[in-house]
Structure 1
Amino acid sequence: MNSRTIANGILRAVGIIVAIALILYFFYKIQSVIVYILIAAVISLIGRPIVIFLRRRLKFRNTIAVVATMLLLVGVFVGIIGLLIPLLVEQGHNLSLLDITALQENIEELYRSGIAYLELNHIDAEKAIKESKILSNLDYSVIPNFLNSLVSGLGSFSIGLMSVLFIAFFFLKDSNLFEKGILTFIPNEKESKTKRSFTKISDLLSRYFVGLFFQILILFVIYTIGLLIIGVKNAVVIAFLCALINLIPYLGPLIGAFLMLFLVMTNNLGDSFNDIVLPKIIYTLIVITIAQLVDNFFSQPYIFSKSVKSHPLEIFLIIIIAGLLFGVVGMIVAVPSYTAIKVILKEFLSDNKTVKKLTQGL
């Protein structure tokens, strides 16, 4: 091997590295567009069963079926916003009247009552709590800022929303548009396997997102019934918002529970803390517990086993790993991405022993 061959090899390697770096930089600069495309792809997967139903059962033309589906999805989105705006306005008004000092006094009174109860049972909890300095470290002023930050972030979604809807319309109109774009970069001998992979992925993810819809619906019904029984104002809106947040794996239920308790508490500002607010908080905790038990032991296992053909433990590990690597966004996209990867591996590496074990249910 002469020096010229070595130099050419080095130049070729440097060229490949530079090309990869430029491609990655390009993707980094257009990351928002990539996000729009991915969200539009998800919306098209959700709307796909509706389009198929309108075309096959009601004999709609493809364009009319797509337009009707998009109008339905937009109507649902507008309805959600219409439900949330009055709640945000009311909670903002309640928070503007919030007396931080009174809230602190109520919580400290609850703390003293709990300590007195524990002392009757010979439990020395006060010493441990004082040493931890929990009450002195609590920042009560953070509560009024919660919804303000939520409202301020809504304006930045307008351009993105229009872009997503525009892209989703064409994905629904031409269901193979995304596939055709990918096939442009696929060698001819791999096209048939790639097409089969796309078909399988579309079917699995459509069922997965439909399953998520029913998961939200079940939580929404349980939350609504529970909050109505308790007598919480804006029960339907609060139930829907907290059920929707549950889509975030593992963190979602905690965020939703905190949000529900927060909204229930601020709905009753000015009422007696011990006689009205505290009992409603306790009853709300019971409702949250019942809903999460149903979700964890019925809804989620059914969705994962029937839609994406994966074991719940397998899904749990994938979500945790994705969360550690990519944060909350990684946890949300972990299951669809993992499902797509499994389908591709089964199609292209079906003879591999490990792949056979992972994809035996597909």
Structure 2
Amino acid sequence: MITSKTISNGILRALATILITGVLLYFLYEIQTVIVYLCISLILCLIANPLVQFLKNKLKFGNSLAASTTILFFILMMVGFILLFVPLIISQANNLSLLDTNHLQQQFVETEKSIETYFNIQHVDLNKVLKESKITSMFDFSYFTRFINSIMGFMADMGMGLVSVFFITFFFIKDQDTFKDQARRVLPDTNEDKILNSITKINHLLTRYFVGLLLQLTVVFILYLIVLIIFGNKNAFVIAFLCAILNVIPYVGPIIGTTLAGILTMISLIGKDFQSEILPTTIYVIIGFLVVQAIDNNISQPIISSKSVNSHPLEIFLVILISGITFGIVGMIIAIPVFTMLKVILKEFFPNNKIVSVLTERI
């Protein structure tokens, strides 16, 4: 029989649950930087796993030595990147006037005038077309400044973050077997094997995915760079770098990158004849980027997205599309890793379910 005391106790428990949940969410919000460090360290640990296994199995390194060697490898890679590439990126960014919004806008206006002059010669009223479409009002010229300045600010404040990430990553690598043993003690006995098997499979699949993704971005960057160098773009490195980073966003990123490459190529050629140099060079660059994307979409991406996480390309496309509609750009970026984790967990806990068995038959 339900009494007033039972109802009041239920209300109190519900309020307590809401209060505890709110406090927990607030606490997580306050330590979001630490959570980011943990996530980055986990990703680095996954990426480093093949190297760690090679050091342990082939070279017979101990846990501490393997972890130290791996961290040293990451540090050397980072220092090499800074020494080789960052000065080049900064100098080319200055050449491209990405740090000067007014100069960038002035160059864009000059480019627009060149286009308008060309189309007037061809008897097309471009000014009327632009006013009716309101294209110019859609451009935010301060975006480039904010983007570059945010990168510079991040690099200036990342010292403590790097120390924290490398420190956490070291212990993730060194004590991963210990963490697994401790997890066995904490986890319920009935689900212990399932959870540990899920973690092992997720670690294996995501390691393949992140390593493959880095390889894919490197290949795309090199191909973009070759296209820009062929057509004499003086800002080839920074444009190729930015467009390759945008490739992290599935499907949408390459489109944005190609558009950005076209605009920046036109701006970098200000002062030259529009009809004989600016327009043909921009068209050739865009065609070259489209060819690179065709290569990436038909060769690199299927291998990375499908084979590395053992999913069908159509399955991957639908998951990314749904995630993009639901959660935007961030959802598209994390769609494949999260979907892979869910598939592994579902297979371990519901192996006899017909729908789950169909979705996870490749795992």
Deviation for aligned residue 1:195: 0.7
Residues 227-285 of structure 1: CA distance to partner in whole angstroms, max 9, x if unpaired? Answer: 22222235345434432331122332234334434554454454444444433322221
Among candidates 103, 110, 127, match of residue 105 of structure 1: 110
Alignment of 1:53-202 (within 5 A): 53-82=54-83, 83-95=85-97, 96=100, 98=103, 100-101=105-106, 103-114=108-119, 116-117=121-122, 128-135=129-136, 147-176=148-177, 179=180, 186-202=187-203
- Residue 108 of structure 2 contacts residue 267 of structure 2 at CA under 8 Å; is this kept in 1? no
Assess if the C-alpha contact under 8 Å between 1:41 and 1:168 holds in 2.
yes
Q: CA deviation at 1:157?
A: 3.3
- Taking a change above 3 Å as real, the CA distance of residues 303 and 40 of structure 1, as seen in their structure-2 partners, is same
Distance 1:302 1:318, change over 3 A: same
Q: Tell me the distance in 1 between the aligned counterparts of 2:121 and 2:303.
A: 45
- Report the Cα offset of residue 128 of structure 1: 4.4
- Name the stretch that deviates more: 186-195 or 57-66: 57-66
- Greater shift, 172-181 or 312-321, is seen at 172-181
Taking the aligned partners of 1:239 and 1:106, their CA distance within structure 2 comes to: 21
Q: Deviations over 1:178-203 (max 9, x none)?
A: 65676565322211111111111111
Query: Corresponding residue for 1:256?
Result: 257
The 3 A distance-change label for structure 1 pair 249 and 137 is closer
Matched, 1:235 2:236: yes
What whole-Å deviation, never above 9, does each CA across 1:131-167 have from its counterpart, x for those lacking one? 2243577566766665345434433433333322221
1:50 Cα offset (Å): 1.0
TM normalised by structure 1 equals: 0.85
Please identify, of 275-284 and 126-135, the stretch whose mean Cα deviation from structure 2 is larger: 126-135
How large is the RMSD of aligned CA atoms in angstroms? Answer: 3.0
User: Structure 2 vs 1, CA of residues 326 and 356 (structure 1 numbering), >3 Å: closer, same or farther?
Assistant: same
SS in 1 for 2:337: helix
- Rounded to whole Å, the distance in 1 between the matches of 2:346 and 2:57 is 32
- SS of structure 1 residue aligned to 2:156: coil
Does residue 223 of structure 1 match 2:228? Answer: no
Q: Would you say the 8 A contact 1:88–1:147 is kept in 2?
A: no
Task: Find the aligned partners of 1:193 and 1:141 in 2 and give their Cα distance.
Answer: 51
Assess if the C-alpha contact under 8 Å between 1:208 and 1:304 holds in 2: yes
Contact kept, 8 Å, 2:118 with 2:274, in 1: the verdict is no
Distance (Å, rounded) in 1 between the aligned partners of 2:120 and 2:91: 37
Number of residue pairs matched? 358
Instruction: Decide which moves more: 254-263 or 289-298.
Output: 254-263
Distance 1:63 1:263, change over 3 A: farther
Residues in 2 aligned to 1:293 and 1:334: alpha-carbon distance in whole angstroms: 22
> Residue 346 in 1 paired to residue 347 in 2?
yes
Is 321-330 or 136-145 further displaced after alignment? 136-145
Q: CA deviation at 1:116?
A: 4.5
* Letter in structure 1 aligned against 2:163: M
The letter for the 2-side match of 1:105 is E
C-alpha distance in structure 2 between counterparts of 1:221 and 1:346, whole Å: 38
Cα separation, 2, equivalents of 1:259 and 1:127:
24
List alignment gaps of at least 5 residues for structure 1: none
Separation in structure 2 between the aligned mates of residue 70 and residue 274 of structure 1, nearest angstrom: 53
Q: Distance in 2 between matches of 1:357 and 1:314?
A: 12
Segments of structure 2 that go 5 or more residues without pairing to the other structure are none
Q: CA deviation at 1:345?
A: 1.0
Residue 41 of structure 1: how far off its partner (Å): 0.6
1:322-333 equivalences under 5 Å are 322-333=323-334
One-letter amino acid of the structure 1 residue matched with residue 109 of structure 2: Q
Q: 1:277 to 1:77 in 2, by over 3 A?
A: farther
Dislocated runs of 4+, deviation >6 Å: none
Query: Percent identity, aligned pairs only?
Result: 44
Residue identity opposite 1:201 in structure 2: I
Q: CA deviation at 1:315?
A: 2.0
- Secondary structure at 1:247's aligned position in 2? coil
Helix, strand or coil at the partner of 1:231: coil
- Per the alignment, in what secondary structure is the counterpart of residue 318 of structure 1? helix
- 8 Å Cα contact 1:46/1:210 also seen in 2: yes
Cross-structure match for 1:318: 319
Structure-2 separation of matches of 1:324 and 1:178? 37
Q: Distance in 2 between matches of 1:15 and 1:98?
A: 57
- Aligned equivalents of 2:316, 2:159: Cα separation in 1: 33
Q: Does 1:35 align with 2:40?
A: no
- TM-score (ref. length: structure 2): 0.85
Counterpart code for 1:86: L
Q: 1:136 to 1:8 in 2, by over 3 A?
A: closer
Rounded to whole Å, the distance in 1 between the matches of 2:205 and 2:298 is 22
